[in-house]
Structure 1
Amino acid sequence: MISRRFHAFALAALMLVPASGWTATPLVVEAALDKDVVAPLLEAFEQAYPDIALDFRDRSTLQVDERVAEADPAPDVVISSAMPWQMARVNEGYARRLDSAEARDWPEWAKWRNEVFGFTFEPIVMAYRLDLSRHMMPPSTHADLHTLLTEQLELLRGRVTTYSPSRSGVGYTLFQQDARYTTRFWDLVAAMGNADAVLEANTRAMLEGISEGRYWLGYNLLGSYAMVWAQEHPEVIVQVPQDYSLVMMRMAFIHRDAPHPGAARAFLDFLLSRDGQRVIAGETPLFSVRPDVIGPYTAQRLRDQVGDRLYPIPLNASLLAFVDPQRRDAFMARWAREFDRAKSVE
């Protein structure tokens, strides 16, 4: 009996700790998350789990969603900021439940059925060139932005940028949420269309355009990316809207067909752990969720700074409505109509 127990223990140890020359356990993560931004978190995971060979693949939100259903073999872990798409895939049965202490203790508002977890808390912001103030007062609210697009139309024509709702899942999600929170949203869309706003597929393209001077003003950018960019590009100013600021979460789940479920569980647990969240709060601008973590980038610190003007996108079944084909088609039809409305009048 003793020899059998020792043999079983030895096998378990060999599974966790690779011997010299033995290939580490692979782990494939499909993520809509800039690798440069999340690098400190990935490095911390690799240090904590040297026996796991992390393959982190950074793609667009729509590409990540396609990989969930079409990749063969399936990825181990899926991460995306396109919250309705993530929820829809989980609802279709693509997620594997995580039964762990970290999962059970995770805040209820940031998880669903212990299958998908929001592990960041990221504000949505505006950004503008520093020299914009030489021409006009920079906007601090959505109403300010609408006023500028109306009163400074010729100066801003072709110099405003935002997400393309057809090419970006997160962009579509943010506009859907805007439409919920302000009755003047469609007036803003029409004003952007009248100003020949340029629709981009991601925040990086918007920030690059602002730095290069092609754009003066950007709307609905991911605050995490914008804040990192502004640290190295002093010509870019980031503004958290003062009337209300949407907050989105990166949602992560283990794929039901994960080829390496053990490594996947270790990775997701690390994202939720105090150690992982401490790295997020202190070394990335992604903003941690855990209330017991202290750092410059935490959900609580953001709440303290912005107060009740923060509007987190809820992580619950209500997200499924946003990917309903009829609702999406109706929204996109109205977007096209409003965005082109002023042009047709002219």
Structure 2
Amino acid sequence: MIHRRLVTLLLLALAMTAFAVEARAQDARLEAARKEGKVVWYTSLALTSSEKVAKLFEAAYPGIKVEVHRTGSQRILQRMMQELQANIKNVDVVHTSDAGHYVLLKDKKLLMRYTPAGVDEFAAGFKDKDGYHYGLRATVNVIAYNTKAIPAAEAPRTWKDLTDPKWRGRLVTAHPGYSGVIATHVLALVHLHGWDYFKALAQNKPMLVQSAVDPSGVVASGERPVAVDGGDYTFYQVKKKGNPIEIVYPKEGVPLVVSPSAITAFAPHPNAAKLFTDFIFSRDVQQVLADTEGLYSGHPKVTYPPDKPRLSDLKLLSVDPEELEKRNEEIKTRFVELFGA
């Protein structure tokens, strides 16, 4: 009995020691991050959403600023590579919606291996097996329409419905040369319907915009009443504000876009970058992204608003990041050939 008590006390002491060591390590990182003063975040997350995350972090960690640089996924990669060619090492945390980027960046040894706290619980599709990047968020590409302009009975319900000549001059699409969400969408639908689908879609002369965020505003205004693509979270946000938008999740499948985040190998503020990465992958922040932004999470404990379909209820069209990287130029070139921009 005495021996058993001694063992129990020893185990308790070891646990308390380990906890104290971890607490000291966290305190040391926080102090180091405060000395660095800021974290530079290149992100494709919609500006209102990324600024919200930045403000939450700054409130949690006074004295550490988040410098948000928001643009499209393809522009982020282009900027990062151009800066490195000029020996400019500016970005700490890079987040885009083109998973192929992370194949390239990892191959070039431009990412730091870092596992955010708690991310082991995330779904397999949100984790790099080598520990260099993790899915910060996910969305699916959808169809959306303006309910004042189009009765529900006449709205498109499938991807091929969008090729009907009755939609000529009434559509809007984002561009894979700017948006990683749309590059993923194009590849997924090429797998589903081939390039012939996009040839037919181009005949309807859709309005071209840049970001996957942009179609929601165009549809809400009625300028073009139907979006042929775009992340569902952007339409969800606009609809929540009272705009006349309805979202359609085609039953033949919706392209799933898991958007990775990583710390750069050359991060000028590495401690702040690690602290920020732990923060954005925490259950609390992941829940905020689900509740207020309409995004999906790899965290198993995140819950969703009742008016959002669960990923498990949708037929998901996934693409391989390595194929996306290999075919990125083909996707952009063919799109320009077909749509003329």
- 1:323 lines up with 2:325 in the alignment: yes
Q: How far off is 1:101 after superposition?
A: 4.0
Q: Does 1:145 align with 2:151?
A: no
Separation in structure 1 between the aligned mates of residue 30 and residue 189 of structure 2, nearest angstrom: 52
Task: Give me the whole-angstrom Cα distance separating, in 1, the residues matched to 2:205 and 2:115.
Answer: 50
Equivalent residue runs for 1:1-346 within 5 Å: 12=28, 15=31, 25-71=37-83, 72-112=88-128, 113-134=130-151, 137-146=154-163, 149-150=164-165, 152=166, 156-180=167-191, 182=192, 184-296=193-305, 302-304=310-312, 306-307=313-314, 309-313=315-319, 318-324=320-326, 327-332=327-332, 334-335=334-335
TM-score (norm 2): 0.80
* Deviation by residue 1:83-109 (Cα, 9 ceiling, x = unmatched): 212332222211101145424444332
Q: Secondary structure of the residue that 2:141 maps to in structure 1?
A: strand
Structure 2 residue matching 1:96: 3-state secondary structure: coil
Shift of 1:12: 4.3
Change (3 A) 1:14 1:30: closer
Instruction: Assess if the C-alpha contact under 8 Å between 1:87 and 1:319 holds in 2.
Output: yes
Seq. identity, %: 21
Contact kept in structure 1, 2:139 and 2:232, CA below 8 Å: yes
AA partner of residue 142 (structure 1): W
Q: Distance in 1 between matches of 2:127 and 2:269?
A: 22
SS at match of 2:236: helix
Q: How much has 1:41 moved relative to structure 2?
A: 2.9
CA 1:278 to 1:298, structure 2 compared with 1: closer, same or farther past 3 Å?
farther
Equivalent residue letter for 1:319: P
CA contact (8 A) 2:190 2:197 kept: no
CA RMSD of superposed structures (Å): 3.0
- Name the TM-score, length of structure 1 as normaliser: 0.79
Task: Answer yes or no: is the 8 Å Cα contact 1:161–1:215 preserved in 2.
Answer: yes
Check conservation: 1:37, 1:225, Cα contact below 8 A: no
Report the 3-state secondary structure (helix = DSSP H, G, I; strand = E; otherwise coil) of the residue aligned with 2:169. Answer: coil
Q: How many residues align?
A: 311
Say which is worse superposed, 80-89 or 252-261, in terms of deviation: 80-89
Structure 1 portions without partners, runs of 5+: 1-7, 341-346
Distance in 1 (CA, whole Å) between partners of 2:153 and 2:200 is 17
3-state SS in 1 of match to 2:148: helix
The one-letter code of the counterpart of 2:98 is A
Higher deviation after alignment, 245-254 or 192-201: 192-201
Aligned twin of 1:344: none
Alpha carbons of 1:186 and 1:283: their partners in 2 closer, same or farther (altered >3 Å)?
A: same
1:178-228 C-alpha deviation (Å, 9 max, x unpaired): 111x2x343331222111112221134322322332212111111111111
The 3-state SS of whatever aligns with 2:229 is: strand
Tell me which amino acid in the other structure corresponds to 2:42.
E
Counterparts in 2 of 1:331 and 1:14: CA distance versus 1, 3 Å: closer
Residue identity in the other structure for 1:266? L
For structure 2, list consecutive stretches of 5 or more residues without a partner in the other structure: 1-23
State the distance in 1 between where 2:248 and 2:113 align: 38
Classify 1:196/1:257 alpha carbon distance in 2 versus 1 (closer, same or farther; 3 Å). same
SS, match of residue 251 in structure 1: strand
Does the residue aligned with 1:221 lie in a helix, a strand or coil? coil
